[in-house]
Amino acid sequence: MAADTNVPPGVAKAREALKDVPHEPGAKKKDPILVADKVVRRFGGLTAVQVDHIEIQRGAITALIGPNGAGKTTFFNLLTGFDKPNEGNWTFNNDPLAGVPPYKVARKGMVRTFQLTKALSRLSVIDNMRLGATGQKGESFWQGLIPALWKSQEEEITKRADELLVRFKLDAKRGDFAGSLSGGQRKLLEMARALMVQPDMVMLDEPMAGVNPALTQSLLGHVKSLREDGMTVLFVEHDMDMVRDISDWVIVMGQGQVIAEGTPDTVMADPRVIDAYLGAHHDGTAHDSAEVAAEVEGGKSDE
C-alpha cells in the first residue's frame, strides 16, 4: 500500500471503515448505506439473483464483479426498482426500498446508470444534463409556462452542467444532439447526467466499457473525487486493473450469489473467484494474461 502520509481523507476514511470487516460473503459493514436481505429473482427456471445478505459501506467505492450472466445488472435493476424481485427486502439510508418505484428511488438519493447506454438522442447534450437536476420548479406544467419563475434556477443548473461537461470532456459537444455522440461519449454523458442528480450513492453499470484508456484515467480520478465528496459508489466492471485501482472493497457475484468479498488484492487472489471467472477446473494459482488467453482459446476450440 502507498505511504499513508499522502492518502486523501476520503480514502483513509474508507480504509478505516473497512479495516476490520471480515473477508467473507455478506460481511457486516461499520456504516452501511445499503443493506439487502434474501433478494431473489427468477426468470422461469433460472435463478438470476439470489443474494442472502449484502451491505455497502457508506463513503467507499465498492466494485461488483463477476463473470457474464452472474446477475450483476439484474441485481442493479432490482435495487433501483426497475425490476421486481420474487422475494427480498433492502433498505437505503434505513428507508425500506422494496416495491418503491424507480423515480422515488432516485429521489431518495440512489441513482444508477445503464449497461446499455440510454442517451436521450433528440435532446441536446446540455439538455440531457439539465434533465438530471432535481427539484426543478419549471418541471411543473403551470410554473413551466412562466419563464420568470424558473429562469434563475435554470441558470444555476446550466452552470453546474457545464462544469461537469468540461470534466467529462464533453463541453465541445454541448449543443449537439446526444444521438450524434459516439458510444464512449454516451457512457460519459450518462455518468455525468447521473451526477447532476447529486445522489448519495451512484450505481454505475460498466461505466468504462468503450471509453478510451487516456480518458479512463481522468474519469477514474473523477470517481475518486466523488468519494472525497462523501458520495458512495457501487460499480460493475470487468476491467480488473480499474477495479484494483479505485475500489476500496470488492464484491464478487457468481450465478446470482455473492461468492466472495474483500479488498481488491485478497479477492483477486481468492481461488473461488478465479474459478468463477475461468471455470471450476482451474487449479487456483495466480493467473496471468497468457494463461487467461489460453483458457479462452481452449473454450473456443470446444465449439
Partner 1 sequence: MNFEVIAGVSLESLINAQMIAYALAAIGLNVHFGYTGLLNFGQSAFLGVAAYGLAMTVATFGLPFWLGLIVGLLSAVVLALLLGVPTLRLRADYLAIVTIAAAEIVRLLFRYFSEYTGGSDGLQAFSDDFYAMNPYGSALEIGNLISFSARELWIMTVGWVLIAISVTIVLFAMRSPWGRVIKAIREDEDAVRSLGKNVVSYKMQALVLGGVLGSLGGYVIALGNAAVQPDTFGTEFTFYAYAIVILGGAARVFGPVAGSMIFWFLLAFVNATLPEAIRAGYIPTWLMTETQAGAVQYILVGLGLMLLLIFRPQGLFGDKKEVMLDGR
C-alpha span between 263 and 249 (Å, rounded): 5
Is 14 or 202 the residue whose CB approaches Mg ion more closely?
Answer: 202
Pick one of 22, 96, 144, 298: the residue that binds partner 1 (CB under 8 A).
144
Contact segment (CB under 8 A) with partner 1 among 98-106, 219-227, 231-239, 264-272 equals 98-106
Coil, strand or helix at 141: helix
Task: State in angstroms the smallest separation of the CB of 69 from ligand ATP.
Answer: 4
Reading the block at residue 236, the C-alpha cell is 460493475
Pick one of 89, 91, 93, 115: the residue that binds ligand ATP (CB under 6 A).
115
Q: Which helix (H) or strand (E) is 262 found in, with range?
A: strand 257-262
C-alpha span between 117 and 207 (Å, rounded): 9
* Closest CA relative to residue 193, chosen from 170, 172, 212: 170
179 in contact with partner 1 (CB under 8 A): yes
Task: State in angstroms the smallest separation of the CB of 186 from ligand ATP.
Answer: 17
Find all residues with CB under 8 Å of 264, minimum gap 6, and list them. 63, 243, 244, 247, 250
Say which residue the cell 475461468 belongs to: 278
47 in contact with partner 1 (CB under 8 A): no
103 in contact with partner 1 (CB under 8 A): yes
Residue span 174-213 as binding mask against ligand ATP, x where in contact by CB under 6 A, dash where not:
----------------------------------------
Is 7 or 131 the residue whose CB approaches partner 1 more closely?
Answer: 131
* Closest CA relative to residue 71, chosen from 96, 99, 94, 51: 51
116 in contact with ligand ATP (CB under 6 A): no
Q: Is 198 left (phi over 0), alpha (psi -120 to 50) or beta?
A: left
Residue span 215-254 as binding mask against partner 1, x where in contact by CB under 8 A, dash where not:
----------------------------------------
Neighbours of 162 (CB within 10 A): 15
Report how many residues bind partner 1 under the rule CB under 8 A. 44
Alpha helices in 109-263 (DSSP H): 125-132, 141-144, 151-167, 183-196, 213-228, 240-246
Residue span 255-284 as binding mask against ligand ATP, x where in contact by CB under 6 A, dash where not:
------------------------------
* Closest CA relative to residue 107, chosen from 183, 33, 199: 199
Is 69 or 138 the residue whose CB approaches partner 1 more closely?
Answer: 138
Pick one of 121, 152, 212, 285: the residue that binds partner 1 (CB under 8 A).
121
CB 62 within 8 A of CB 249: yes
Pick one of 50, 57, 73, 247: the residue that binds Mg ion (CB under 5 A).
73
- In the complex, the residues that contact ligand ATP under the rule CB under 6 A are 43, 46, 48, 66, 68-74, 115
